[in-house]
Structures are given as structure tokens and as C-alpha cells.
Structure 1
């Protein structure tokens, strides 16, 4: 009999072979020179690997500790999910999967954590660049004549062109650049541009269907209900939060609609040193949160302007904050800030309220920054790495209710510190919660087949008041990754309900919650309930 930790390690070895770009982001050694298998037998070979791992679960002894239970749950759910996806819509049949892997196979090696050994990294980068033309040729074989949503194909075109721009214009500005990269980078860029021009094919429906959506909710996210109940909850919450916004707006001076108050908030931009504002608000959030939890101030977060080599990557999943490689995190991580241009709209994107709530709290300080630091110390093998940001999303989708649920919850948590937010910023907090409920509604209605992409976009624009420039990318992402947007609001709701149920001191509750790392929020909740019953957590 093997224990759950051994089974989890076996899965990670297989995951690294099947998804080597994920392995680079996780810090798993030995795969930095590889792109994913994409030959004609790739889908069948992956299915055989996953089925063998699933069969091995029969030989796993019963979990005996919280960490073993987390590994067993994450592993079983991941195998079930991955096999279901291979049956429904293998990622090898999505044109955007290839562009994401090709682009981030390169970008993953350009990030600061890979610059400690430049010769080794440069060699891995050269090999990956050399592999891109063949990888994209294999993509064409998989995609030939295959139906796919038109908007997914358009996303792939945009990503391919952005990646080609990176290789031809950005990469030569990177410290790793030397003449050995010139030819393979040029060939890869040309292959990406050719791929962008060769993505014709029939349109396909977006919806994954109720049965698959139900599996993603009940198995992957370990939620105790399915899409119909979730839709009812999110719809009620959207109406309730709309009423709250209207009431909050009436309490603010000016007799304005809540959207006008938020527009005024957006106009308040930092004066002078922009990076200094980011650092100051991040530090303030860390200090303010100390009565509520133990923040990760022993692991650094450095704010810097986006480097020249990364300019023009806007159509890629290039995150300003990307979780450090959990298996080789170094002593700190980098937070990119896009330099504002001459257009006043560029400066408004860095308005003080947005920097505070999104950059300083949600991603920095006690949000993802602290959660990632705690996850790296978790006893569960998979909960250390499940929330790793990879080419198109986190490594294991099942961790999402905790990963994003916590970061959204953290925004609200600091409202418990008197004076941390202004009344107008608390209005923005409510709009963020309402936006997450809206994303949950779209995720569900789109994949239940009740809405088209155009109907989803109209809802985001007219009801949820999303920024117009964001809507196309948001809905295309909704289409590509079912059950990935519902995890924000449902994860936050799970954490809030558990805190109310246990009624523990804030610091005790939050530190215990984060200690379990990246696992489904409901599964972590069950472990905290068990600890409470056993007397390990005290009021």
C-alpha cells in the first residue's frame, strides 16, 4: 500500500511530463527545455497515463492526517477532471492552448527566478524556441477541420501575434539574449505568425453542458451543490448587492448614482512616485492586518515597472503578480507595474482605490502574497503547488475556490480595520463582490447553454458595469475555462460562512485556514471543523 503523499508525488512526475511548462512554473526540475507532447498519439497516451494513476488509487492506504486527506482529495479530483476533459474536449483540440504553451514556455524562463544560472536557462530557452515550429505543426494536425468557437480562434490569433512580437522585439532586450537565440527566435516568431493566419474552421458551441459543469462543481471544486443551486444563489446575491450599492451611494455626499461615485474614485490618482504608492499601500495593508492574521512579511515583494522586454504582451496571460515557483521561490518575488503613458486613461488605471484594493490587498500583502507563502509550507504535497499560475490558469483547477476565494475575502477583511478604507472605497468593495457574483452567473449560464457569448457580453456591459475594454477577453476566458469564474464568489462565500460558523478569534481562524495551502475551500473547511471538534482550535 502506498500513502497519499507518494501517490501525489507520482502524479506530479506525470504532470511534469505531460505539462512541462507547468513544471517550470512550479519549480519542478528537469523539464525547462520541453514543450508539451502534441503528436498524433498525445491524447491517447495522456489518457493511458491518467488511467494508470487512477487505478493506483485502489492501492493507496486510507489517509490518516489532514495533509494526507487533502492530497487524496486533490489527486482523485484532478484525475477525474482531467479524464473527463479528455473525453469532452481535449486541450489539444483548442487553438488557444498551443499559443499559451508556446508563449509561456518562453516567458516562464524569462522571469526573475530563472536568472540565477543564466547559461543553463539560456540553453533551455534555445531548445524550447527550436521546438515551437514543430509544436505548431502538430497543432495544425490536431485542429485540421475541427470545430471550435470563433472567439477562441481569435484569442489564439491575438496570442500568436503577441508572442511573435515578444520573440522578435522583446526577447532581444532581455538579459539572457545572445546570438545563439537569434535564429531559433526568428523561426519561432515566423511559425507563430503563420499559425495565426491558418486558424480557419467551423464555429462550435461554447457550452460544456450541465453534466460536465456539475462534475466540475461537485468533484473538481468539491462543492455540495450543482449549477442550478449556484445560479439561484448568485442571482439573488447580484440583486442584493445592487440594492446595497444604491443604499451606500445614498449615504455619500453628492446625490449621485453609485456608478458616478466610482467614476470619481477612478479619477483620484497617485501624485508623484507611482511605485512608491504601490509599496506604501502594500506595507499599510500588511501592518493593518496584524490583528486579524499573521501576514507574510518574511518573504519580500518587490514592485518594479514592467521591463522593456515584456512590452506588447497585453494579449497574453501576462500577470503583474505571478505566484512564485513554490518549489524554488527564492527570497522574494517581483510585482510588475505597467508604466503610465501620456494618455490620462493610463494614469486612471493606477487610481488610488484600485491600487489599494486590487494590487496591495488582493494580490499583494495578505491576499495571494501571504496565501502563496503559507501554501509553500503546507504539509500536503499537492496543496503546495496547486495554485501555481501557469500558462492559462492555475495548475489544479480544484484549488481555485481557496486561491481566489481567499484573495477576494481578504479585500473585505480589511474593512474590519477602522479607517483602512474610505466610504467611497467601501462602495468599490461592494461593486467587486457584485462583479464576482456577475461572473458566477455568466460562467453558469454560458455553460448551461442558456446564454450566448453576445448575451454574456451584454450582461457584463449593461448590468454588471464591467470596463468595456475588458469584456471580450473576459467572456472568451469564460468560454475556454468552464467553472473557473464561479470559484471567486463561491469560494469567498464558503470562507465567510465557515468563519461565522466556528466563531473563532480572527487570527486563529485565518492562520489555521491558510496553513492548509491551496485546496478546495470546502475541503479545508471540513478539516477546520474537525480540528475544532478535537479541541485543536479554541474560541
Structure 2
């Protein structure tokens, strides 16, 4: 093993040590029985370990010869710098939702189906460790002025975790009777933790300096927050005008909002929801011929959310499609379809065919995240294989975001190049998605640079962007916790579009090349593709 490779593995060992739930999702061995170490001593240990490794790495990664080595070197420095600054200035341990999310997914990560049998001993160990983990969290948080919305989010997640522990676990097919008492004790601990939280009035914004640090050091974006804001504002205005004009041409008597609401009536019968997902996923794979090589070799099974997870899933980061563990992905993964509740009519409106096509079949399934994840596992960069892994509260490495979400949003429009895949009314929906992503980029920057309060951001989403009222609070609270995450969707998509125009390759060649580099900042992948196609240097 070369010295750079050794540093990469050393970093992954540190990541797994301090974030063992991430390790479970990635498939990194040896940590499935652990919860994250917490408390001031653990945080200081993490800071020192990261600083020591960064000191070794800085200035010593010389003359990488291949794309994989170049990406690994950049990602290694990026992860060390970003994680260290987070630990110093904005520690995850100072966020109450960190404790609820990690506790919930410490268990869920071991219960999700994959090629390996459930590690029942690890589930038991994590259940037993939960009370101390949460008690330390209470002690850490008690003296802090916490943003009120972060507290509310943590309390919602605590309620969901309690439901999982007391009612969900026993419905899992691998349930063990010996889990019952530790689960009950963990449920009592999560109740105590949630009750002890005190909402404060802290500003959740990270500040312009920190935001630009993330844009530069995590996303490798070549422009300032002000320039990104200008670009997003211009796009927001242009896309808004295009949206209104498209709607006028389709039906001058109805606004775009009314026409999109009409699409909700185009839904399958209740007993045909599952087959509708399967059918449109297959059609998307077929429609992509000549545009990209889909991951047909890696299966995607559409199943209703299992009973053990149903009560808890709504308040947690429980995804429809979750990237499988890169270290042992098996030969396929599950795509969850959320089950109907009491209001069947509302459920079916949410399961409308245009939304299933664009979001479930394309963005998350078929050629979107599903193909992107399959290709990432074959990347030459070790860190780019792992960075896009879905973990307890988001992807493992923020640096993966412009590729992961940029690609998935880009693919929605890519199938406009497949004649007949979308109807004209569905094209209106795609335009609204792009309009919304530009708006969210704008809001991310304005919130975290201090131009907007959280309430101003929410008013923007409600009054100008058209988010469903029930989604506004969750969307904005999440964005307040994780700066520079919502901007990566629109900015990542723009880089891909601009690069495609610049290189002018055959569509399938361009898209297959793009995905071959794995989950790294899309601007760096663009540099590698320029090097390959202009200089012939892989």
C-alpha cells in the first residue's frame, strides 16, 4: 500500500471510529456494535486525531498520476479540513437531532435488508449503549442555547424512535426476545432526553465565511456565495417566467399551480401502486437507451415499507431508496413504497403517475441514484466509492453532493431527450422542479449568509416557490442544520449541463464517463473529463 493509500485507509478508520453508524451504512467492518463516542473528551480526541492526520497529509500528497489518485488526494484533504472545522466551530454533538438520528439509525442500519444476515448481537449491543449515549447528550446540550426548530425536530425524531423501540422492533422478522428489555430501557432514555431539551433562540445560520468555506473546500465550487446567489436569482426569475409561459400555452385558463394540482388526479388504483412503480422504472431504463448505460446488472425491487418501520419512518430520514453498502452491496437493493394511511384519497394524490415517473422511477431509481451508486462502486478513487452513501442524516461526505444530487436532478430532464417518455403536462412539472431547485439554492445562501431569517426563508418557500405547506417546516429546518446542502442540487446540475455543451461528446459516452469517477465534486470530475478528452490523460 502506498503512503497516500495508507492515509486514505487511516482516514476511513477514523471516520468509522467516530461515526460508527456511517460505517454500518458503508459496509465498513468492525463497528456495528458501537454508537458514536460523545462528550467533550470524545470531541477533543476527534479534533486532535483529525488535526494530526491533516498535518501529515498537507503538502505531502505529491504528483498524483491518475484520476483516482488525484480525486482521492483532494477528497482526503477536503474531508479532513471540513470535518475538523465542523468539530471546532459547529460540532454535530451540539445539535439535539444528532443524538436522535444516530440512535434511531444505529438500529435501523442493522435491520435493513442486504446480502448479509441481521447481526442480532450488534443490535443488542447498540440498544444497551443507547441510554448512556443519550444521557451524555443531555449533559452536553443542557448549557447550550439551541435553535428552537432543532429542538422540535429532535423531539419529533425521539417520538418516532420510541415507536420503533416499543412497537416496531417486535415486528421485524429477525426480532430476538433478548432485545425487549434493552429496547424498553432505550425508549425510556429517549423520552428523558427529549423532555430535557430546552428550546432557545440561537440563530441557526452558519455565517457567510463558513458557507463559503464549505462551497470551496467541500464542493470545490469556483465562485463566491455572492456569485452563486446572483446566478440562482437570475435562474429563478427566468425559470419562473418560463413556467408561467408553458402553463399559458397548455391552458391559458389555469395557472401553473392549478395545472400541477390537476396532475395529482392522474394516479393508479390502490392495488396498482406497486406495479406502477415497477413499470415506470422499467420504461425509464428502456427510454435511456443511447443516452446512458443503466445499471441493469444490479436489481431494484419495489416493495411496500415493512410493518416494523411504518410508524417510525415519517419523522426520520427514512428514504425511499438508500444507497447500498459499497463494501458488500449484494446483487440488488430495495426501493420502499410508503404505505397508505387512513386518508386513501390523499395517499393516491401523492402517488400520482407524473410524480412516480420523474421522482421515483428516474431521480431515485433507474438511471438516477440507482445507476449512479452502482457506477460509483467501480470508481478508481476509494473515497469516491463511499462518499455518496446515505447515512443517518445525509450522505457520508458533503463533497459527494454536487455529483449525487446534481446527477439525479439532471436525469429528470435527460429523459426529455427520449421521445414520448413525458407528456407536455409532465414537462411543466419538470420545469417546476428546476425552478424550485434554483429557489432552494438561493434560500440556502441567503439563510446561512445572514440575509434571511428562518421565517423569511419559510415565507419564500410558501409564497413564491410553491412548496406544499406540510413540507416547508421540515425542509427549512433541515437546511438550517446542514448548510451548503440545498445549493448542491441546482449548482451540480448546472455544472453537468455546461460541461456537456463544452465537451460535445456523444450522449452515452459523456454520461458514462461522468458516472465512472464516483461520488466527488462534479467540478473536479469535469476537470478530469477535460484532461481525458483534450489531453488523453486518464
TM tier, shorter chain? over 0.9
Q: Aligned partners of 1:515, 1:342: CA distance in 2, in Å?
A: 44
Query: By how many angstroms is 1:6 displaced?
Result: 2.6
Mapped contact 2:47–2:88 kept (Cα < 8 A): no
CA deviation vs aligned residue, 1:201-248 (integer Å, no higher than 9, x gap): 532111111110010001110000011111111111011000000111
Query: By how many angstroms is 1:255 displaced?
Result: 2.3
Query: By how many angstroms is 1:61 displaced?
Result: 3.5
1:117-156 mapped onto 2 (5 Å cutoff):
117-118=117-118, 121-156=119-154
What secondary structure, in the 3-state scheme, does the structure 2 residue paired with 1:303 have? Answer: strand
What secondary structure, in the 3-state scheme, does the structure 2 residue paired with 1:301 have? Answer: strand
Taking structure 2 as the reference length, what is the TM-score of the superposition? 0.98
Q: Aligned partners of 1:113, 1:483: CA distance in 2, in Å?
A: 31
Unpaired segments of 5 or more residues in structure 1? Answer: none
1:502 has 2:508 as partner: no
Mapped contact 2:146–2:198 kept (Cα < 8 A): no
Mapped contact 1:145–1:202 kept (Cα < 8 A): no
1:338-353 mapped onto 2 (5 Å cutoff):
338-343=338-343, 344-353=345-354
Bigger shift: 86-95 or 470-479?
86-95
Q: Aligned partners of 1:482, 1:536: CA distance in 2, in Å?
A: 35
What secondary structure, in the 3-state scheme, does the structure 1 residue paired with 2:308 have? Answer: helix
CA deviation vs aligned residue, 1:172-198 (integer Å, no higher than 9, x gap): 100121211001000001111111111
Query: By how many angstroms is 1:200 displaced?
Result: 1.1
CA deviation vs aligned residue, 1:371-420 (integer Å, no higher than 9, x gap): 00000010100000000000000000011000000000000100011111
1:279-318 mapped onto 2 (5 Å cutoff):
279-313=278-312, 314-318=314-318
Counterpart position of 1:79: 80
Counterpart position of 1:247: 245
Q: Aligned partners of 1:60, 1:210: CA distance in 2, in Å?
A: 30
Counterpart position of 2:31: 31
Q: Aligned partners of 1:535, 1:130: CA distance in 2, in Å?
A: 55
CA deviation vs aligned residue, 1:281-338 (integer Å, no higher than 9, x gap): 0000001001101100100000000010001221111111111111110110000001
What secondary structure, in the 3-state scheme, does the structure 1 residue paired with 2:65 have? Answer: coil
Counterpart position of 1:44: 44
CA deviation vs aligned residue, 1:257-296 (integer Å, no higher than 9, x gap): 1111100011110134111000000000001001101100
Query: By how many angstroms is 1:59 displaced?
Result: 3.7
Q: Aligned partners of 1:232, 1:5: CA distance in 2, in Å?
A: 40
Counterpart position of 1:67: 68
Among 199, 204, 210, the alignment partner of 2:208 is 210
What secondary structure, in the 3-state scheme, does the structure 2 residue paired with 1:41 have? Answer: helix
1:326 has 2:345 as partner: no
1:6 has 2:6 as partner: yes
CA deviation vs aligned residue, 1:27-49 (integer Å, no higher than 9, x gap): 00110000001033011100011
CA deviation vs aligned residue, 1:109-156 (integer Å, no higher than 9, x gap): 010016x334xx110000000000000011012112201111001101
CA RMSD in angstroms, aligned pairs only: 1.3
1:273 has 2:245 as partner: no
Counterpart position of 2:196: 198
Counterpart position of 1:22: 22
Counterpart position of 1:88: 89
Counterpart position of 2:443: 442
Query: By how many angstroms is 1:250 displaced?
Result: 1.5
Among 177, 180, 183, the alignment partner of 1:182 is 180
Query: By how many angstroms is 1:60 displaced?
Result: 3.3
Mapped contact 2:243–2:256 kept (Cα < 8 A): yes
Q: Aligned partners of 1:150, 1:523: CA distance in 2, in Å?
A: 38
Query: By how many angstroms is 1:2 displaced?
Result: 4.4
What secondary structure, in the 3-state scheme, does the structure 2 residue paired with 1:34 have? Answer: coil
Q: Aligned partners of 2:252, 2:421: CA distance in 1, in Å?
A: 22
1:394-433 mapped onto 2 (5 Å cutoff):
394-433=395-434
Q: Aligned partners of 1:463, 1:217: CA distance in 2, in Å?
A: 26
Q: Aligned partners of 1:202, 1:477: CA distance in 2, in Å?
A: 17
Query: By how many angstroms is 1:62 displaced?
Result: 2.7
Taking structure 1 as the reference length, what is the TM-score of the superposition? 0.97
Counterpart position of 1:484: 485
Mapped contact 1:210–1:448 kept (Cα < 8 A): yes
Query: By how many angstroms is 1:480 displaced?
Result: 0.2
Query: By how many angstroms is 1:342 displaced?
Result: 4.5
Q: Aligned partners of 1:202, 1:434: CA distance in 2, in Å?
A: 34
Mapped contact 2:290–2:508 kept (Cα < 8 A): yes
Q: Aligned partners of 1:264, 1:523: CA distance in 2, in Å?
A: 41
Q: How many aligned residue pairs are there?
A: 534
What secondary structure, in the 3-state scheme, does the structure 1 residue paired with 2:97 have? Answer: helix
Bigger shift: 341-350 or 311-320?
341-350
Mapped contact 2:368–2:411 kept (Cα < 8 A): yes
